[in-house]
Structure 1
Amino acid sequence: MAGIAAAIAGVSVGFSANLLLSSMDAALGELTLQAAATVDEEYAEGMNILMNYWFILVSTFVLAITGTLVSRYVVEPRLGDWHGEGAAAEEDRAAMTITSLEKKGLIAAGIALVVSVAAMLLLIIPENAPLRGEGGAIVQSPFMDPLAVVIIAVFFVPGLVHGIVTKVVRNDTDAVNHLSKTLAGMAMFLVLAFTAGQFIAYFTQSNLGQIVAVLGGDALEAINLNGFLLVLVFMLFVAVVNLFVGSASAKWALLAPIMVPIMMHLGLSPELTQASYRVSDSATNILSPLLPYFAIIIVAAQRYDKRLGIGSLISVMLPYAIAFMAVWSVMTLGWMGLDLPLGPNAPIYYEGR
């Protein structure tokens, strides 16, 4: 149970702390770029989806240490001796055994991944590589602009090779069918993304975002809510909203057109607003029964303790949520105080107001 809790903490509570870029960087980054463009189009053109990379890179190590301490000195002692029923049955273990054919598929997929990454590097690293930008730039280049497509391609090729070697994919029809099944689980997200896209378009065309930004910024300035206190209140607000709206990208699609302009009006960069959002969006994930993976976690845990339910799981994960939120918030405010860049060309403060 302690192992399951630690794994959940790493995957869900520390959702936005990564050593490498993920699809979340692309999804949130594009929304932030669009929201910033409603206030300062020239500034938005200089932004990129690497805007939080230094921040999430350091966060990975900070949260790993925090999670280790919470697991060792809080969660494990609270769990006590295990008295669960029905640990994983022998047939379940047999079902998880990797066959020789699957091993070949994994080896082939690994080779395909190395080849794909090597081919991508050849298009980027050389001085005159075709995917470099003007003057040999990498951050602002044909490689960074469609980065989401690049990530898809790098993962698609090894997956396809694995399917072919294991004979799960025998022809193009099999490949399409597997893609269709995967996308079926994304149906709700696609509907929300479409709605969010319309929402952002309305804000842009009507200039409502600028109006809300100015009025909201003036209201916050009138009550002296700015700087560190503003960021802290914003993070607490997102942490509460996250209990009711689980999707990180859908939630940001609703908040970005409002909060990014307000923060810019008060001198805080869009990059900082997004980083603050990611902290709170991750920390309280596991406390919401609306989390899409909550049922899967319950099922996995009940293999070792049939009495475990929603309340029990939340009580186990609560120390992680509190510790991650506290440590990550302090780290964010410290980052602001030191005025460190959040990523390449990603400042803390916005000076274009």
Structure 2
Amino acid sequence: MTAPAKKKKSFFDYFLNFLEKGGNALPHPATLFALFAVSVLILSAVGFWLNWQATHPATGEVISTINLLSKEGIAQILEKMVTNFTSFAPLGIVLVAMLGIGIAETSGLIGVFIRMLVLSAPKRILTFVIVFAGILSNAASDIGYVLLIPLSGVIFQAMGRHPYVGMAAAFAGVSGGFSANLIIGTIDPLLAGLSEEAAHILDPGYHVNPTANYYFMVVSTFLVALLGTWVTEKIIQPRFGTYDGEVKQETIEPLSKKEKKGVLWSLIVLAGWLVVIAVGVIPEDGILRDGDGGLLSSPLMTGIITFLFLIAGSMGVVYGAITGVFKNDTDVANGMAQSLKTLAHYIVLVFFAAQFVAYFRWSNLGVIMAITGAEGLVEANLGVVPLMLLFILLAAFVNMLMGSASAKWAIMAPIFIPIFMLLGYSPELSQAVYRIGDSVTNVISPMMSFFALIIAYFQKYDKNAGLGTIIATMIPYSIAFFIGWSILLIGWIMLGIPLGPGAELFYELPAGE
């Protein structure tokens, strides 16, 4: 552990330290995920024998617990263990991205950009910029997880600050601010489609646009960035103080002539890629647009990690060749291999995490828990604002059990959207409320796909970092985001501001319904 700043500890400090020590006293994260997987197997058998089940609100299908310790279940476990691992979505993304980033890193290009940023960026707003950049990165698939978070740790260490603080700030923006952004992302049409289907239960002609929550999400972007900055500076930074671990701090020296030349040509390469992308997306029938001419499901958006690999790799090759770091193709290949060595611990974690997630999905336990919790909340028969606040808490809790935002909304939307419509509130409002809850616990949910990767990032600077370190570091963000976002929601409702273009807060059933 690193040296804390000298200050009088508050009760909250003691609580976070207790949480961290308690969490890190648990077995190794890989062992922990293995134990979780075994627990799911046992619970699946118990749930099957006790007939745990729930009725899916959208289809009316009775969902029962699947016994994974049955003959069929054991056969599935044995047959799918390898594919559970190899098909685990973040694994391929991280490996491909790191191959390109590895070239850029070993060439020295990332290091020189860090030096440029540290030498030129105003220190007062650096934290805000990192949180804000994390939120915006959500529009570009998973680039925030694989690039911005580790880069922020390096930047903070280079500035003499604890790398954990930089990574926490970036993680808060990337994951805690998942539902906020200044532009429409791929999640917006997914949720809108599910909301529309749920609204059709009462109103078959109702339409929900992908821009349904745009105004609210734009304001939320600045709210989350400000809250994330405040938590980072007032809680996280004082807690960790300065870093005195084994990882050497990046030296901050002015750029040499050769480095400046390398940067110039790498930027020219970047400009070339931007031209290629522009040529592919500007024409209505551009090759990087999707079939109907849109961008949300286009090759550009779905292939963003491929572009990251190509852009980072080519820029690194050019920079390394000009500065003399890369003398031949062997040096480039060695750089790619070196980057993958840093992921060894992550790969081990992913193997066990992938089994746990698969077992939880196969058993139906996550779906049954989500449906049961939602039904209990509805039966409480509270007022609209208390119900919405409890709905945020429910979504936040379910987020600890299920990782997919669209999968959770597919279950919850058919329950809550009709109820809010009958109470006079729009499907767009129900969706906005859900998105708050779905975001605030991302940073502390082991079910979040990239959680194992975050642990690996922290272990780079302290090999003893574990699940407790991440949760204790990030829980202040969850609390702040929940309080701040809830206040914004209540104020938004009281003022009657539309949530997006044509997306009002209130709803009236058509005559005759």
**TM-score between both structures, scaled by the size of structure 1:** 0.70
* AA partner of residue 68 (structure 1): T
Q: Is the 8 A contact 1:112 1:158 kept in 2?
A: no
Q: Is the 8 A contact 2:196 2:206 kept in 1?
A: no
Of residues 156-165 and 259-268 in structure 1, the stretch that sits farther from structure 2 once superposed is 156-165
Give 1:163 deviation, angstroms: 4.5
Distance in 2 (alpha carbons) for counterparts of 1:38 and 1:216? 20
Q: Is the 8 A contact 1:86 1:306 kept in 2?
A: no
Determine helix, strand or coil for the equivalent of 1:148: coil
1:25-62 deviation per Cα after TM superposition (whole angstroms, max 9, x unaligned): 12111111111112112223xx2111011111111011
Q: Which residue does 2:107 correspond to in 1?
A: none
Distance in 2 (alpha carbons) for counterparts of 1:326 and 1:161? 35
Distance in 2 (alpha carbons) for counterparts of 1:121 and 1:325? 43
Determine helix, strand or coil for the equivalent of 2:212: coil
Whether 1:321 and 2:478 are equivalent positions in the alignment is yes
Give 1:349 deviation, angstroms: 1.3
Distance in 2 (alpha carbons) for counterparts of 1:15 and 1:158? 18
Determine helix, strand or coil for the equivalent of 1:42: coil
Distance in 2 (alpha carbons) for counterparts of 1:288 and 1:246? 8
Q: Is the 8 A contact 1:87 1:303 kept in 2?
A: no
Cα 1:265–1:35 change in 2 (3 A) is same
Distance in 2 (alpha carbons) for counterparts of 1:77 and 1:161? 35
Q: Which residue does 2:467 correspond to in 1?
A: 310
Whether 1:10 and 2:173 are equivalent positions in the alignment is yes
Q: Which residue does 1:139 correspond to in 2?
A: none
**Structure 2 unaligned runs (5+)?**
1-163, 252-258, 287-291, 318-353, 368-373
Q: Which residue does 2:297 correspond to in 1?
A: 149
Of residues 155-164 and 314-323 in structure 1, the stretch that sits farther from structure 2 once superposed is 155-164
Distance in 1 (alpha carbons) for counterparts of 2:305 and 2:246? 39
Q: Which residue does 1:335 correspond to in 2?
A: 492
Q: Which residue does 1:66 correspond to in 2?
A: 227
Distance in 2 (alpha carbons) for counterparts of 1:305 and 1:256? 42
Distance in 2 (alpha carbons) for counterparts of 1:216 and 1:317? 27
Q: Which residue does 1:115 correspond to in 2?
A: 279
Q: May I ask how many residue pairs the two structures share in their alignment? A: 288
Distance in 1 (alpha carbons) for counterparts of 2:394 and 2:275? 45
Q: Which residue does 2:196 correspond to in 1?
A: 33
Give 1:108 deviation, angstroms: 2.4
Cα 1:86–1:161 change in 2 (3 A) is closer
Distance in 2 (alpha carbons) for counterparts of 1:53 and 1:9? 21
Higher relative contact order (Cα pairs below 8 Å, separated by 6+ residues) = 1
Give 1:19 deviation, angstroms: 0.9
1:110-158 deviation per Cα after TM superposition (whole angstroms, max 9, x unaligned): 1123334433599xxxxxxxxxxxxxxxxxxx77xx66335x4566599
Distance in 2 (alpha carbons) for counterparts of 1:119 and 1:323? 43
Q: 1:76 aligns with which of 237, 260, 264?
A: 237
Determine helix, strand or coil for the equivalent of 2:206: helix
Whether 1:43 and 2:206 are equivalent positions in the alignment is yes
Give 1:313 deviation, angstroms: 1.1
Q: Which residue does 1:299 correspond to in 2?
A: 456
Cα 1:295–1:161 change in 2 (3 A) is closer
**TM-score between both structures, scaled by the size of structure 2:** 0.49
Distance in 2 (alpha carbons) for counterparts of 1:76 and 1:157? 33
Q: Which residue does 2:502 correspond to in 1?
A: 345
Q: Which residue does 2:64 correspond to in 1?
A: none
* AA partner of residue 172 (structure 2): A
Q: Percent of aligned pairs with the same residue?
A: 40
Q: Is the 8 A contact 2:424 2:506 kept in 1?
A: yes
Runs (4+) of structure 1 moved beyond 2 Å? 83-90, 97-109, 112-122, 146-150, 152-168
1:41-88 deviation per Cα after TM superposition (whole angstroms, max 9, x unaligned): 2223xx211101111111101111111111111110011232333458
Give 1:238 deviation, angstroms: 0.9
Determine helix, strand or coil for the equivalent of 2:507: coil
